[in-house]
Structure 1
Amino acid sequence: MAMIPGTGRFTAVVGVLALGFALGVVKLTGPYGSPPYHAPTRPIGIETLTPRPGTTGAVMQVVAHQDDDLYFMNPDVDRAVRAGTESVTVFLTAGEADGRNGPGGRPDPQAYAAARNNGSRAAYAFMALGDRAARWERHSVRLRDGAHAELDRLVDAPNIKLVFLNTRKEEGIGAHGRLRTLWNGSERELDTLAPRDEPAGGPYTYTRDGLIDSLADLMRAQTPTVVRTLDPEPDRQRHDGAHPVHADNGGVSDHQDHTAAAQFTWEALRRYNADRPAASAAAIAYRGYYNERWPHNLAPAARERKDGIIRVYGWTDRVRHCPGRVDCGDLKVRDTAPGTNWPQSTTYRYPNAGVRPVLGADGRLTAWAVLGGRVTRWTQDAVGGPNWSPAHSMPGPGDGELAPGLAAVRIADGRIAVFVLRIGGARRADRDRFEILTATETTPGGELGPWRGLGNPDGDGRGPGTPVVGVDGAGGLYLFVRDRDKGISGRHRPAGSDTWSAWRDLGGGEIVEGPGAVTRPDGRVVVFGTAREGIRYWEPVGERSGPPRTIAAERPAGPPAVSVGADGRVGVAYRRAGTPEIASVVEGGPNGWVPADSGAAGAGYEALSRVPRPDGTTATLTRDADGRPIVLGASGAPVVLDERTVAVDPTGAPDGAGHAVALWLGPDGALRTARLP
């Protein structure tokens, strides 16, 4: 067919104009064809986040999506809200996904993001006041890179605040990147979405540093004593018919936005902590989607409360209770939450985050924790005395951030050695590394000496848990971690040597939680881990370890709590999955274990600590259903140690005078102690 003269060039020109028009529309309308850029309402100052005078402690949650806190952090968030704690939850993404609010819905990303934000407001109002329709003050607040976020305050419970950054969750028309690609440097900028009828305006653009510094600025304004976030390094996961991919990312067991949100939070914590004169904030990380693959740990009452809050977020009854033109909740959650296993557990990525007590060479008890990215030590003023020195913060390794859950042991010369897990520390964002580090007091009770890297079992800088250390009768050290393959790996340093063995896998398959270690009266170190079929334990000797043995524990969940009783027998306490029940077993003879005392306390997921008493009995420390630290004995009602809700489980140890002492961090981050009854 003959071409009409000049039409080829005309067609090309029309094509170029059409492309230019399309790009212009995208530029003017923003991603997904959202409304043209509109100015925010008049912003308020970020200092609005400052806790009210007279309040004690503050908590901050940083999550990717509007339901992450409800699925993975409750009951902890609910407890703090109901206790009146100053609470700020920061949502990094708009959570718009495909823009459909429930099956069959019309794609409208701005409306769906706004509906999810409505669901979050309803859930927090319900937690705080029992009224999902309670009124909020809604404002714009200016952050880095010229972006504005939405800052909401619950009018009748002004201790509750929400911040929505609205970064784009998915790639779409005129869009590029998401949290993961901004974190790893694949994209230099990430746009926001402008939810319908919300005060922040937009869309805006964040750089990587701008987003990190915005989070650090929010922390500086609120000065939290607890920062909660998600898992920066999820377990590996083989996906097959029994373990479908769902929303997992590649070969790991969680959503990529969850992981990136955690990575941004840990880096923001590092920057926030770096310019503070004293350590204060305890960091807590929560497992995400892979809750569905482990034993469910919430007791029925806790699960019912958690489900009820999620139903409020999901606008289950469709009764309109919110102002504005968009839906009052996330109908995707309403339709899918009953069929998932995510709400049935609350699981800490680093479960042994409590204070670590160690008896010093002079007989005074010391206490160690990671606070504000630093190793913090407290010391009894006198042997067996009730008073303690103020917190003494010691420099960290200076690169990366320290995970909660350190190990501390006294070595043969009386000094105390500390072992930590460093998160990050890579010069490039896509090469974060996770490494075990150790430092030792220069003299007993003195400062920590230089940090030394011990690597990790996987050799590629990925994935171990926090360290556990045992000291044998000769003074040799055994270091254990839960490794990337979900087993236990260890290193050994013989007595009198400064040289550690190579990492080795102890064998025996997966453990769900652990490890926990204890030294027998004969000087042998024993290490335990919770498996699906029971409590597994190993008795390593030097660089060798025989096959593990299994204690026939009924439906164990959570990390094992191990101790040696006055009679020299090792005891192990654990939670029974899906209940508030606490069971324990004790050595009954060669290779035999028999049931010991049992009880019930908490919501089913709190960690346990075992402490021998002077009378020969063993006490169990944990938190109750309101998050208060308690002690359980062989009989009688639990004894409440502190009427306030605390974020980290209590621990305990005998002091130099033989008293059994409980230790915990109060809501203000300060050490609290008590002699056990």
Structure 2
Amino acid sequence: MTAAGAALAGCGPSHPRPRTPAAPAVAQAYRTGDAPLVMQFLAHPDDDLYFMNPDTLHTLQSGVPLVSVYVTGGESTGVNHEPDGRHSHVHDLAAYSSARHQGLRQAYATMLGLPHFTPWHREVISLLPSSGGPYAEVDTLSNGRAHATLVFLQVSMHETGGWNASLPLMWDKPGITLRYVVAEGAPSPADQPAVWTHDSLVTALAGLLGHFRPTLIRTLDPDPDIQVHDATHPKNSDQPGFSDHRDHTATALFTWKAIRRWAATAAAGTSGAVGAVGADTAPGAGRGRAAALPAFRTAVYRGYYNQRWPFNLPPATVALKGRLLFQYGGDANWACGNPGGCGDYGQGRNQPLTNPKGWVRSTHRRYPGTPPSAVVGTPGRRISYEVLGSGVARRAETRPGVWGAPRDLGGGQLAPALSALPRPGGDAWLFALRFTEIEGHGGPNTRDVVLWRDGRWTSLGSPEHGDRCRRVGAPVALATADGRVHVFVRNAAKGLSTRVLDTTGWGPWQNLGGGEVQEGLAALTDRAGRVHVFAAGRDTIHHWAQTTPGGPVVARPGTGLPRPGDYPTAVPTPDGAIAVSYPRPASARTVQARISV
């Protein structure tokens, strides 16, 4: 099949007979015994502080070891701008990259509860032992149970010349290479020049996953929203046509491809681990490996999307994020002892809190609302399902509160969201969003909605075509008394699409119109059996519903509810109404509303 054909098959119009996706030939056991460890993969120093915090801080405070991997050198033009506009316009790539590393050490020391200039243990690992390089600096610091590891891969953000090479170009096109950026003061041999390729970066990322063996992986958004850029919506730092930085997207794509490779090698019992030049870099790193499925979970975070929607963090959390970014930004007058500088000065002082883009004021999950796990059945005989590793794990309750070992249902590489419909007999139908293909180098990069039913996975396709299928959200499904099953997704236009199963089979995907909404759909049936869907728009909560049971789901007039700060929840009330709850923007308060139907 050609690349174009593969893309169409993985993301295209619905078919009369939904296709069956490839699934593991043999179900394998999940690996057990790995201690909790979180890895997060960032494009630049500060992405974690802007877009993943406060989750990063909470992980450290919980005592779970945290490994943060920074893919690019963050060198930009090499100018370390001060927020008051005073700078010398000295273009020093090595110094600016080093200064940003130091800013991270200051911020993480603060999160660990230590003075910001606390010395770190700095060493070097070989990312590709068979070839001897590139190397990576690995910095570690602990305070009691709290342990942080920072890994710097130093891929150049851009190259000048005929290709004007960049990380997105290295993802998309064969033959593109990028320099390894040597940061000033990097320990040897991380101070040696080297070159990155598409495959060497995927191999290195997969090797780091094999080395640290995370139980939770955090990534940036591989599939950002389509964004119109005009006078009302200035482009700022977005990539053309989308609401995020180009390096965020490319880093996330490389990471998800590496996750797939690592999971495959672990299941086959082969090792892709990096080689340590010094000692082990994390508790439990480099332990023995056996052929088993790695039992990890994933979480995906939005980036510059934050500036396009109402802010979702209360003032106290924003102030906390700002305090940590203050440490990261540092100051040219600080005496930190780092030769390249004492932080990313343009992010210092009060700049993150005064920046009109407001990135610091939200933390958005890419797939909110629908959790990655579900439990069906009655106590003592329940069944749980969870997106785990590269598929779904099923556990059966052997007696109240006691669960059996997880069984691999396959499913492929899935987004961390799972919608479950209980069915007669105790099992459930499962609906998920699958990373069907994620190849790069001009190969297919597609997503589709998949269904687990009667022991097999089936593709339900996508309401979108081509690259637009990557912008579709995770499915939410519900069953009605007439036997129909309704599946809803947020589509590439930020509206609502649906597909319905009735006695004749699955109907086509349909666009239900309505205004633009965020991810995080709330779907339910009311006391009369009518379907309702609620979602958060920019100014109010949007509502779709059936007028009569069994009728079409259509966009309803505006609810008139106050502006939402994040996605809603909705439940039927005993008197036949619907209770809708959601956070207010930039507030710890919630709206509790009652909608008569």
Q: 2:154 aligns with which of 166, 187, 190?
A: 166
Aligned twin of 1:311: 326
Q: Which residue of 1 aligns with 2:278?
A: none
Q: CA deviation at 1:186?
A: 4.4
* Contact preservation (8 Å) 1:412, 1:475: no
Structure 1's consecutive aligned runs of 4 or more residues displaced over 6 angstroms after TM superposition are: none
Shift of 1:175: 8.4
Matches of residues 149-164 of structure 1 in structure 2 within 5 Å?
149-154=136-141, 156=143, 159-164=147-152
Match in the other structure for 1:296: 311
Matched, 1:217 2:229: no
Superposed, which structure 2 residues align to 1:362-441 within 5 Å? 364-382=381-399, 385-397=400-412, 401-411=413-423, 415-426=427-438, 429-430=441-442, 431-440=444-453
Match of 1:20 in 2: none
Q: Is contact 1:488-1:515 (8 Å) kept?
A: no
Q: More relative contact order in 1 or in 2 (CA 8 Å, sep 6+)?
A: 2
SS where residue 425 of structure 1 aligns?
strand
Structure 2 residue aligned with 1:30: none
1:411–1:475 contact (8 Å) kept in structure 2? no
- Match for residue 196 of structure 2? 206
Residues of 1 paired with 2:164 and 2:326: CA distance? 33
Q: Displacement, 1:112? A: 0.6
Q: CA deviation at 1:257?
A: 0.2
Q: Aligned in 2, Cα 1:176/1:563: closer, same or farther, shift over 3 Å?
A: same
* Residue 526 of structure 1: how far off its partner (Å): 1.3
Asked if the contact 1:514–1:559 (Cα under 8 Å) also holds between the matched residues in 2, the reply is yes
- The 1:512–1:428 alpha-carbon spacing in structure 2 relative to 1, beyond 3 Å, is closer
Distance 1:116 1:173, change over 3 A: farther
The aligned amino acid for 1:558 is: D
Match of 1:33 in 2: none
SS of equivalent to 1:514? coil
Deviation, structure 1 residue 532 = 2.0
Residue deviations 1:5-60, cap 9 Å, x none?
xxxxxxxxxxxxxxxxxxxxxxxxxxxxxxxxxxxxxxxxxxxxxxxxx9951101
Q: What are the Cα deviations for residues 521-565 of structure 1, in whole angstroms up to 9, with x where unaligned? A: 332221111112222121146683333233333231222112234
Superposed CA offset, 1:173-218 (max 9, x none): 6985221111112444222111111121222112212211211111
Pair 1:428–1:258, CA change in 2 (3 A): closer
Partners of 2:63 and 2:373 lie apart in 1 by 28
Contact kept, 8 Å, 1:55 with 1:86, in 2: the verdict is no
- Give, in whole Å, the separation in 2 of the partners of 1:55 and 1:156: 22
* 1:229 alignment partner, SS class: strand
Consecutive unaligned residues in structure 1, runs of 5 or more? 1-53, 443-447, 591-677
3-state DSSP of counterpart to 1:395: strand
- 1:375-397, Cα deviation, whole Å (9 max, x unpaired): 12233335xx3333333222124
Higher Rg: 1
Q: Cα deviations across residues 419-447 of structure 1 (Å, max 9, x unaligned)?
A: 1111251555443111111121x3xxxxx
Map of 2:345 onto structure 1: 331
Match of 2:79 among 64, 76, 100: 100
Structure 1 residues 110 and 405: CA distance shift in structure 2, 3 A: same
Which residue of structure 2 aligns with residue 135 of structure 1?
Answer: 119
**Aligned ranges for residues 120-519 of structure 1 at < 5 Å?**
120-144=104-128, 145=131, 146-154=133-141, 156=143, 159-172=147-160, 177-199=165-187, 200-274=190-264, 275-276=266-267, 277-316=292-331, 318-334=332-348, 336-337=351-352, 338-339=354-355, 340-352=357-369, 354-360=371-377, 364-382=381-399, 385-397=400-412, 401-411=413-423, 415-426=427-438, 429-430=441-442, 431-440=444-453, 442=454, 448-449=455-456, 451-460=457-466, 461-494=469-502, 496-497=503-504, 499-519=505-525
Q: Which amino acid aligns with 1:511?
A: V
Per the TM alignment, residue 520 of structure 1 is displaced from its structure 2 partner at its CA by 2.2
In the alignment, residue 581 of structure 1 is paired with which amino acid?
R
Counterpart check, 1:551 vs 2:552: no
Aligned length: 521
For 2:462 and 2:257, the matched residues in 1 are separated by 21
CA apart distance, 1:363: 8.4
- 1:640-655 equivalences in 2 (<5 Å): none
Q: What is the rounded CA distance, in whole Å, between the counterparts of 1:455 and 1:114 in structure 2?
A: 46
Equivalent position of 1:29 in the other structure: none
Q: Which residue of 1 aligns with 2:539?
A: 533
Q: TM-score, normalised by structure 2?
A: 0.83
Length-normalised TM-score, structure 1: 0.73
Letter in 2 for 1:294: W
Equivalent positions of 1:1-40 (< 5 A) are none
Give the CA deviation at 1:454.
1.5
Structure 2: distance between partners of 1:290 and 1:55: 34
Q: Which stretch shows the higher mean deviation, 288-297 or 200-209? A: 200-209
SS of aligned partner of 1:124: helix
Report SS of the residue matched to 1:462.
helix
2-structure distance, mates of 1:472, 1:65: 47
Contact 2:436/2:445 (8 A) holds in 1: yes
CA–CA distance in structure 2, aligned partners of residues 551 and 321 of structure 1: 56
Q: Which amino acid aligns with 1:71?
A: Y
Q: Does 1:562 align with 2:541?
A: no
Q: CA offset at residue 290 of structure 1?
A: 1.6
- Contact between 1:279 and 1:393, CA under 8 Å: does it hold in 2? no
Cα displacement (A) at 1:412: 6.0
Q: Which runs of 5+ in 2 are unaligned?
A: 1-32, 82-86, 268-291
Query: Separation in 1 of the partners of 2:509 and 2:574?
Result: 34
8 A Cα contact 1:183 1:260, kept in partner: yes
Q: Secondary structure at the match of 1:453?
A: strand
- Cα distance in structure 1, aligned partners of 2:171 and 2:440: 10
Q: CA RMSD in A?
A: 2.3
**CA spacing shift, 1:355–1:378, aligned 2, 3 Å:** farther
Of 33, 36, 60, the residue aligned with 1:81 is: 60
Q: Deviations over 1:586-626 (max 9, x none)?
A: 33x44xxxxxxxxxxxxxxxxxxxxxxxxxxxxxxxxxxxx
Percent of pairs with identical residues: 35
Q: 1:313 to 1:243 in 2, by over 3 A?
A: same
Q: Matches of 1:177 and 1:369 in 2, distance apart?
A: 40
In 2, the alpha carbon distance for the partners of 1:98 and 1:134 equals 29
Partners in 1 of 2:60 and 2:44 — Cα distance? 19
Letter matched to residue 423 of structure 1: F
Distance 1:438 1:432 in 2: 20
Question: In 1, distance between residues paired with 2:115 and 2:161?
Answer: 38
1:520 to 1:504, Cα distance in 2 relative to 1, 3 A: same
Deviation at 1:501, TM superposition (A): 1.5
What is the alpha-carbon distance in structure 2 between the residues aligned to residue 415 and residue 378 of structure 1?
Answer: 11
Taking a change above 3 Å as real, the CA distance of residues 464 and 77 of structure 1, as seen in their structure-2 partners, is: same
String of CA shifts for 1:235-284, please: whole Å, max 9, x gaps: 01011112111111110011100000000111111122222423521111
